[in-house]
Structure 1
């Protein structure tokens, strides 16, 4: 009986040991499987993270490449625009220099011709007239042919004097810009068009001869435009000087034009005026409306 009990106990002990060993094996296998699954999951996560980082890097590279391309494009266009503007400015400067050189040489020639006409031809004609008068008086000669000859000499003298005055006005040289412009307004005014003159500058004020001549010819060209194109009845010029700036205001009550079409109506005369003003670092502003006349403002620094 005791042997049988011993056998039973031994059987249960062995069975328990086997069961415990199997349970331990299963637990160990479970742990191993869990570790393997965890490792696989971590590997997958790492792979996924690396893949995501690769995509981010690629996307960032593409964005940077696009940004660099855009910046390069804008830099290229800006540089191209600067070169275009520079070429345009260079062409404009060359054109202005050519125009101003032509104007300067023309004014020099005008002065030479005017001086030659006044000092030589007119003097000769006056001398001929004087000798003729002395001869006819001394010999008491009354001839129709001599009378006609005297009249022709006087007419030639007057024509040459007017021509000389148009080239370089005597009043401008002798008495200055303000006096010459006041006289000009009186001379060109007529029953159809009245030029009014006003100035806050004394008529005795003088500037450099070159400065006065350029301003005088600028104003005469503007007056010619009013006479030829404006169909105005009245025109008014105002002169003033402030803070070393010489200001000219000219207004007419003519037909006017649309300011946005100014380039269409610009002729060589206006280009010459702009060139002269720009040479002195001045400015010109033109405002006009159809049937409301035209206003022109010119400001030029006074040279010292």
Structure 2
């Protein structure tokens, strides 16, 4: 009996332990299932948050790209607008330069025609009239004060017309070229108030095209007139030399100078017309000068030789 009781007690203990173990296993399984479901819910929630964050980033990036594209479009539009404005300005400038150049060319052509007409026709007629009058007085042996005055008037008119024709187109320029003509120009404009010195390293026998020489002669002539009228200089020098198929002319005076930065405002000097002439020759034109200083003015002209 005692043994049976012990056996029953052990059986009961074992049964209770199995029951407790089973309950523990069941509770463990329940808790693991709950934990898995919670973790699953947490994972889904985190995935949703990550997806929302990703969508926000995509939207933000899209907005930034749209803003950048708008700025790029605006800059491209403004750049094209500026290019069109510059193009219109260049077109207007080219038209203006063409008008000025055509005016200068027609002026030079008219000067040549007038000079040729004065020299070949009027001067010839005056010379012929003076010669006939001289022959008539010699044959008739007439000594008349009126005839002497008439001869003097004819000679004076002849000299005036000759000087005028030379001013329009110098004979030295046509016959002997630019170098001789510029040297003569310096000598004729030198006086007790101002002295023009001429120096050159170019052979005096050198000749260029007729248009090239004519244009450069009148450019230098106009600059010399500016020195005489405006600079109050006592000395001036004109030098010419060739370098790498370019003719370089440097004009320097010791006058009072002017503000070279305000060149467009100095219309009285005719410098803008000179700049246009040189630009047509595909050359460059630079000025170094300061207003009311004793450093004078230096002008450099570089023109490709044609």
TM-score, normalised by the number of residues in structure 2: 0.93
Match of 2:174 in 1: 173
Name 1:278's counterpart in structure 2.
279
What is the deviation of 1:266? 4.3
SS at 1:201 equivalent: coil
Partner of 2:152: 151
Secondary structure of 1:254's counterpart equals: coil
In 1, Cα distance between the equivalents of 2:80 and 2:205? 53
Q: Which residue of 2 aligns with 1:218?
A: 219
Q: Distance in 2 between matches of 1:261 and 1:276?
A: 19
1:298: which partner in 2? 301
- Partners of 2:246 and 2:305 within 8 A in 1: yes
What do residues 171-198 of structure 1 show as CA deviations (whole Å, max 9, x unaligned)? 1101111001101100011100111101
Question: Unaligned stretches of 5+ in structure 1?
Answer: none
Tell which deviates more after alignment, 204-213 or 255-264. 255-264
Provide the rounded CA distance (Å) in 2 between the counterparts of 1:258 and 1:225.
14
**Residue 9 of structure 1: CA displacement?**
5.1
Supply the distance in 1 between the matched residues of 2:24 and 2:101 (Cα, whole angstroms): 112
Mapping for residues 181-196 of structure 1, pairs under 5 Å: 181-196=182-197
| SS of equivalent residue, structure 1 residue 284 | strand
SS at match of 2:152: helix
Partners of 2:200 and 2:7 in 1: CA distance: 146
| Unaligned 5+ runs, structure 2 | none
Stretch moving more, 209-218 or 35-44: 35-44
When the two chains are superposed, the root-mean-square deviation of aligned CA atoms in Å is: 1.8
Pairing 1:85-124 to 2, within 5 Å after superposition = 85-124=86-125
Q: Structure 2 matches for 1:77-88, cutoff 5 A?
A: 77-88=78-89
Are the equivalent residues in 1 in contact too, given 2:226–2:269 (CA < 8 A)? no
Q: In the aligned structure 2, how far is the partner of 1:267 from the partner of 1:95?
A: 19
Instruction: Determine if contact 2:249/2:301 at 8 Å carries over to the other structure.
Output: yes
SS in 2 for 1:204: coil
- Could you tell me how far apart the structure 1 residues matched to 2:7 and 2:298 are? 137
CA distance in structure 1 between the aligned counterparts of 2:13 and 2:179, rounded to whole angstroms: 141
In structure 2, how many angstroms separate the alpha carbons of the residues matched to 1:219 and 1:95?
Answer: 23
**CA deviation after TM superposition for structure 1 residue 261, in Å:** 2.4
Task: Map 1:3-42 to 2 at 5 A.
Answer: 8=9, 11-42=12-43
The residue that corresponds to 1:257 in the other structure is: 258
CA deviation profile, 1:149-171 (whole Å, cap 9, x unmatched)? 11111111111111101110011
Pairwise CA distance, 1:263: 2.6
- Structure 2: how far apart are the matches of 1:118 and 1:258? 42
Cα deviation for residue 250 of structure 1 reads: 0.2
**Cα distance in structure 2, aligned partners of 1:4 and 1:32:** 41
Measured in 1, the distance between the counterparts of 2:276 and 2:136 equals 54
2:125 is paired with a residue whose SS is helix
